[in-house]
Amino acid sequence: MPNDRPGPEILTDEEVSAFLDENLFAALATVKRSGHPHLSTVIYKWDPAERIVRVSSTKDRLKVRQLRNDPHAALYVTSRDHTRYAVVEGTVELLETTEPGDAAGRELLAMGLGLPEAEQEEAFRKQVEEGRVVIRLRAERLYGMGLDLPPEMREL
């Protein structure tokens, strides 16, 4: 007897990219020394042209320390109703702010909502003071899936 429930649909690269671009929150998985995964909820910015996920963090955070030790990571993004998800797997590059207005600081500023020029100097100074780091996750593999559920099942 055939299954009358909707089945999963594999998303194309273009659909995964669009899904990543329209979301903000994700779980970033890094690798502990034990080999087990460590998950952190993060705010991210997807750059579809470069196929890079950018996350702002600070150099003293556990995820940054783990990425220094093992640069492999994955980002998991889900829809609010959990009927779609996307994953970015790849290798991370860390870019630290070392002086106000440096390349890392400008990249961090570009990730945000944008500041008037008059407020940028203070933002750059604060980034260095906080030890801000750009986590760049280059997409080596993208994949995702969706489930076309009827509306009454999405409420469960």
What confidence score (pLDDT) does residue 115 get?
74
DSSP 12: P
Residue 34 CB-half CA count within 13 A: 3
Cβ-based neighbour number of residue 130 at 10 Å = 14
- pLDDT of 20: 98
Residue 79 pairs in a beta bridge with none
Write out pLDDT tens, residues 10-57. Answer: 999 999 999 999 999 999 999 999 999 999 999 999 999 999 999 999
Helix 117-130 to helix 103-111 angle, to the nearest 10 degrees? 110
CA end-to-end span of the chain: 25
Q: How confident is the model at residue 8 (pLDDT cuts 50, 70, 90)?
A: confident
C-alpha–C-alpha distance, residues 66 and 32, integer Å:
6
For the stretch 78-137, pLDDT in tens is 999 889 999 999 999 999 999 999 999 999 998 975 677 788 899 999 999 999 999 999
Where on the phi/psi map is residue 57: left (φ > 0), alpha (ψ -120 to 50), or beta? Answer: beta
For the entire predicted model, the pTM comes to 0.89
Residue range 111-128, pLDDT digits in tens: 975 677 788 899 999 999
DSSP letter assigned to residue 113: S
Rg (CA), the chain: 18
d(CA 75, CA 107): 19
